[in-house]
Amino acid sequence: MLVTGGSAGIGAALAEGFAARGAVVGICGRREDKLAEVLARLQAHSPESRSWRVDLADLDGIEAFAAQANEELGGVDVLVNNAGIPKRRTVQDLTPEVVESTMAINYYSPIRLTLALLPTLVERDGHIVNISSIAARLGPPGEAAYAATKAALTAWSESMALSVSTRTSNPSSTASTA
């Protein structure tokens, strides 16, 4: 399985929980020192686990990363799109560049990774978990840019769960949103 943003926070906790239950887990992030710390904990449970340093904001690099992770993990059967950034800023203080860069990491990057791994995931009756946010539904003040990225991810997840599950033989293979 592959957990993006596994170098810290929710992703690191999820990765360790899965490794403790015997899964071979791949994690990625930008900070090599943090990745190394988490990987050591994963490998104590699951020695084949591994990590990659990657900046998922570099959208054009995602297909190559997906191919590498898929090959080195022997096929991805669970993808957890967790990597993301908050953006607490009033609308008056936002710029188009900030809005677009937040959308790139929180929405376009998980979509690129999903599309790149979808053939493998469908073939393996896999699962996709997209870490969204309650902000997707509530639109909290000072979080317009962030909330919009999560609303997009939630809408994508809900639609994909229906369309992908109708194309697979196993109706339990769905996408879910947290």
Ligand X SMILES: NC(=O)c1ccc[n+]([C@@H]2O[C@H](COP(=O)([O-])OP(=O)(O)OC[C@H]3O[C@@H](n4cnc5c(N)ncnc54)[C@H](OP(=O)(O)O)[C@@H]3O)[C@@H](O)[C@H]2O)c1
Binding site for ligand X (CB under 6 A): 5-11, 29-31, 34, 54-57, 82-85, 105, 131, 133
Question: Would you call 33 helix, strand, or coil by DSSP?
Answer: helix
Is 146 a residue of the active site? yes
Q: Which of 146, 150, 157, 160 is catalytic?
A: 146
Tokens of 56: 């998922």
- The pairs formed by 152-157 with CB atoms below 8 angstroms and a separation of 24 or more are 152/103, 152/107, 153/81, 153/106, 153/107, 153/110, 153/177, 154/130, 156/107, 156/111, 156/130, 157/128, 157/130, 157/132
Report the nearest approach of ligand X to the CB of residue 125 (Å): 25
Report the nearest approach of ligand X to the CB of residue 117 (Å): 16
Report the nearest approach of ligand X to the CB of residue 86 (Å): 6
Report the nearest approach of ligand X to the CB of residue 111 (Å): 13
Tokens of 80: 């957890």
Please state, in angstroms and as integers, the Cα–Cα distance from residue 99 to each residue in 30, 82, 111, following that order: 21, 19, 17
- By beta-carbon proximity to ligand X, the closer residue of 54 and 160 is 54
- By beta-carbon proximity to ligand X, the closer residue of 15 and 24 is 15
- By beta-carbon proximity to ligand X, the closer residue of 30 and 41 is 30
Query: Checking DSSP bridges between strand 78-81 and strand 50-53, what pairing results, if any?
Result: unpaired
- By beta-carbon proximity to ligand X, the closer residue of 9 and 124 is 9
Q: Nearest 5 degrees, angle CA 151-CA 154-CA 156?
A: 110
Distance (Å, rounded) from C-alpha 72 to C-alpha 74? Answer: 5
Q: Which residues belong to the active site?
A: 146
